[in-house]
A and B are shown apart, each in its own frame.
Chain A
Amino acid sequence: MLSVSALHCERDERVLFTGLAFTIAAGEVWQVQGQNGSGKTTLLRVLCGLNHDYSGGIFWQGDTITRQAENFRAGVFYLGHSPAINKALTPLQNLRWFCAVSGFADDTAITAALAEQGLRGYGEVPCHHLSAGQQRRVSLARLALSPALLWILDEPFTALDRHGVAALERQIAAKAHAGGSVLLTTHHPLQLDCEVKRIDLDARARQQALSA
């Protein structure tokens, strides 16, 4: 689905990762590990096309992402640190816009996705009246709506309670079983009923330091 070869990225004259190569196939869950500042978020932003300061190849369905730009953008869902939720708007309005820029309208699915996140009845409440965790859940409701094949999730468990974490883990596993793929970073110990492949940026940095 997404493959990467000889990916190299440096920031402020510090090499974050170099010679990175892996292939995410359908049905796989990948976790990027590393301490704070090791470049996890940068890697994820490079892979979804937000950050262009890299060298190396990123391929979507076997073709470069610049040539496949439209398919690539339609096929990838990115959840960043910021929730992408406008606080002046209601969850319904926020999610309607998300659906519209993804190319469809479906109020039934939006209501269902909100209910699934435990936000039944909050659809018409402006988001600044919601708690941080509830805003996070509005943001996560997009997962159920997105038609994307690959989810790229940066610290998706932030601000979630225990039930929320368990529900999201089930959702990630379900995505993999349904033939989708997930690439995520988290410091939370994952408990998924499917295999998790790992990219350890710390270990790679140590190897480079030894070989240098």
Chain B
Amino acid sequence: MSRHSVGVLGSLRATFMRELLIIWRSPGDMVNPLMFFVIAVSLFPLGGDPSPAYLSGIAAGVVWVTALLAVMLSMESLFRGDYEDGSLEQLLLSPQPLYFHLLAKVAGHWLLTGLPLVLLSPLLAMMLALPEQAYAPLMLGLLLGTPTLNLIGAIGMALTVGLGRSGLLLAVLVLPLSIPVLVFGTGMVQTALAGLPFTGLAALLGALLALALSLAPLAIGAALRISVN
């Protein structure tokens, strides 16, 4: 095989696969947020009232808030390694379109840290005695919501990556921006429980995702240029 051009798509695939490989090689980054999600949710029946009537009332909120925090926890590894070893500089200096590379990177990150949360959520919903008709809106909501949260979190992470440990600052920057996702996400579950159609709220979550997909990479790119400066 000799030198051949791979084009933009090929280089995007390389960035995506690299992200998957990096997370795969450091399983802690993938498993820790998931463990946090499971353990934090399972503390609620222990700390509060274990009766199904009480739990089913708070289930949607508990799963969503914990998922939100788990996503924030997973963001730490998104740019940290690349910033420290200098790969981020190489990405910023490459002639490739940064916008799409950042999308590919966040997509890879979501696939291994966000998607497992979505897949695990019905199990936790069952533990919190959530009625069965609410599983579908919960999962659909998380499926549309976690990528949005990943993209928002990536903006905060890009801004704080140069500051060493960014934990609390990241939360202060990012959590207020995630409120709409949380409101619409839990709203979907509540409307389904009330027997009403939840497609309207799902469409709103989808719109938020579309907005984040189109604008967040620009903000992430600008924030990274500031951080590397």
List chain A positions with a Cβ less than 8 A from chain B: 48-53, 70-71, 73-74, 76, 78, 80-89, 93, 96-98, 100-109, 126
Contact = CB atoms under 8 A, between A and B. Distances in A.
Given A84-B85, A108-B2, A101 B90 contact: yes
B89 A78 contact: yes
Nearest to A100: B14
Among B81, B86, B96, B101, the most chain A Cβ lie within 10 Å of the Cβ of B86
A101 B10 contact: no
Contact of A106 (B1, B21, B101): B1
B15 to A, nearest CB: 7
A76 B82 CA distance: 20
B7 interface: yes
A108 B10 CA distance: 18
Interface in B95-127: 95-96, 101
7 contacts: A50-B228, A81-B86, A82-B85, A100-B14, A105-B1, A105-B6, A109-B2
A89 B25 CA distance: 8
Interface of B: 1-7, 10-11, 13-15, 18, 21-22, 25-26, 81-82, 84-87, 89-96, 101, 225, 228-229
Contacts of B3: 104-106, 109
A89 B87 CA distance: 12
Nearest to A52: B229
Query: At the interface, is chain B mostly helix, strand, loop or mixed?
Result: helix
Among A80, A82, A89, A108, the most chain B Cβ lie within 10 Å of the Cβ of A82
Contacts of A73: 93-95
Contact of A100 (B2, B11, B89): B11
Given A73-B94, A73-B95, A103-B95, 5 more contacts: A82-B86, A83-B86, A89-B22, A101-B96, A109-B2
B5 to A, nearest CB: 5
B6 A104 contact: yes
A81 B7 CA distance: 29
B6 A97 contact: no
Given A85-B85, A100-B15, A108 B1 contact: yes
A93 B95 contact: no
B86 A105 contact: no
B4 A80 contact: no
B21 A93 contact: yes
